[in-house]
Amino acid sequence: MRRFGLDYEALAPIKPELIYCAISGYGQTGPSSQLPAYAPVIHAASGYDLAHMAYQGEERRPDYCGIYIADVLTGTYAFGAIMTALYHRQFTGRGQMIDVSMLESMLSLTLSEIQAAQFSLPQMGRPVFGPVATKDGYMNLSIASERTFQNLAAASGHPQWVTDPRFAQYPDRRANWGELIDELEEWSKERSTAEVQAVFDRHGVPSSPYRTVREAMADPQLAHRRAFAEIQDAGGTFQALNPPFLMSDTPAAACPHVASLGENSEEVLAEIGYTPSQIAALVSPAGSEARG
């Protein structure tokens, strides 16, 4: 944008109230600012990939990346920063430059790991959030409090776990989590995923089957919240996810129509001051060929 004369430094003197947001891999200045970056590169550079692998308990080649967390996460931080800048402008009349770094955004996901990188902390054993086998698949089980552990013990028919010295205290559970899962799976493997989920839900055990995206999209809870909007474009209709928040006084939903390339060219050109004859020359096939 600086090459085009459209960077913040060039535009701010013309429009002081301008809010200008720039997203990049490493930030707008500094020794890495000119390095190319895509989300998978930032996943690796931030330590996120190796931190995730460390919890799997085995040495292996790093995973391939197919879900681009850094792109979505950094855009979300940019959204929050822009909203904050708009609020600031409401009171001061001044705009500002927002410089959002993908690297720093991804680092924000590794809160415990940032602490562990700075201090010598005792090893807590295997994380207590992971898969439990059933007769026909796996479920994720997440036990993070004494109450949820007690609920798990009751749900699976193991009330003695609450006083078992291997599991009674949180550090002991983490140290002996493998034994706990082995004993739990003697129960869960005799039941289908749906049966285990029903029992866990009745007892307030935080858990979920591992679902495909298609299965997740069919969740009645998402239908209740009207989480998807039907979008039309030149190719037909499809569903798009609305913002993941509901506001009591402001609609938050995707627009129902996506314009095809050039669909609104005449309106846009007229809005910025082109005359009908100029617009006709610009949007007609002959005009396109002349410009080419």
Residue 45 pLDDT greater than 80, yes or no: yes
Look at residue 289 in the predicted model and tell me its pLDDT: 43
* CA of residue 281 relative to chain centroid, distance: 45
Domains in the chain, ordered, with CATH?
Answer: 8-118 (3.40.50.10540), 129-210 (3.30.1540.10), 225-291 (no CATH)
C-alpha distances (whole Å) from 83 to each of 166, 243, 267 are 49, 15, 28
227-264 per-position pLDDT tens digit: 999 999 888 999 999 999 999 999 889 989 888 888 88
Residue 285 banded pLDDT, cuts 50, 70, 90: low
Give the residue among 182, 154, 155, 151 at the shortest CA–CA distance from 166. Answer: 182
Instruction: Report the share of the chain in percent with pLDDT over 70.
Output: 96
- Dist CA 46 CA 252 (whole Å): 32
186-207 per-position pLDDT tens digit: 999 999 999 999 999 999 999 9
- Dist CA 62 CA 51 (whole Å): 11
> What is the edge-to-edge ordering of all strands in the sheet holding 129-133?
129-133, 138-142, 207-209
